[in-house]
A and B are shown apart, each in its own frame.
Chain A
Amino acid sequence: MHVIWEGIREALRLIFGGDADVLQITLRSLWVSGVALLIAVLIGIPLGSVIALRDFAGRRFVVTAVNTGMAAPPVVVGLLVAMFLTRNGPLGQFRLLYSTWAMVIAQVIIALPIVAGLSLAALQQLDSGLRQQIAALGAGRLQAFVAQLREIRIALLAAVMAAFGAVISEVGAVIMVGGNIKGQTQVLTGAIVQETRIGRFATAIALACILMMLAFGTNLALTLIQQKGRESG
């Protein structure tokens, strides 16, 4: 019990004392997951929309692949990315393994199916009558696409929240492709694993608290936007 109390006291000191290492790890986590999420959203929403709105050969297979991707274990993603980025791998020439960009790539692969899959599901649930009404109002293809995204904006925000939750809390892939190198590729989850392993519970608790606050803060902000959107809907 004493260890836990000590840990919490130390954690509060690290958080509010502005510890440089903790701040650096936190900012790196935000950068890696933020960039990955941005890329996943930019690709995932159009991808989900194309799958939802277009008929093409093998559509069912693509939908199944996206849905499977939503449940892909991060360690499997880490293994695949590591295989591609390793020196002898197909993309080894870029020397990205054990860099933050390798972590971004892994997290994009984790977040992309979530964003695409949830966008796809939301668009498919949109009333086809509303879709036709938008076209009948004289909307061009791009205008109709944007209008439909506006109609599912609450579901899209849920997709972003789910994807952010998945990447910020993910540990397997970032350790495998980033190497958990202190001062270079270490993010919150990797640091918590390492600090716990060497018995520095106070630092681990501090980092865990920050991770929880990040998850809570981001989701709170998105939820507020989402509910505002619902009220104005």
Chain B
Amino acid sequence: MAVGFYLKARHSFRARQSSAGLHSTAPNFSLPELNGHSLQLSDYRGKVVLLDFWATWCTPCREEIPHLVELQKKYRDQGLQIIGVSMDDSPEPVREFYRRFHMNYPVVMGNAGIGELYGGVLGLPIAFVIGRDGHISAKHIGATDASVLEQDIRGLLSQ
């Protein structure tokens, strides 16, 4: 029985992993922003989207935020939209962090569901770069140099 449960758990994890593979359509989701409004990924079709899974307690995530703020500022007019998905357990520390670090892009509160939808977010940070057509162009696991993200974004913005 234990073996059966184990195999089932493994299978479902692998199946989930394939749902957000490179070049596939980024799974749509609807999640609450910090202001209570609902954000839907499909509303950003036509823009280049950087989907950043992060948390306030994650040091490499925090270190990336100022760079993401800069990228959003620099490329907003060309069609870049960064969306933060906080994997914190509650919104309070996220709201405080958002104000303190003058974040200039929407942040939604994530949950296990979106983690599974994106192949299992079992370590942070993870960033997905999504093209104007809604397809996932790149996935970066762990701390990623801002220049790498910028290169991805520039390539997609010019398409």
Say whether A associates with B. Answer: no
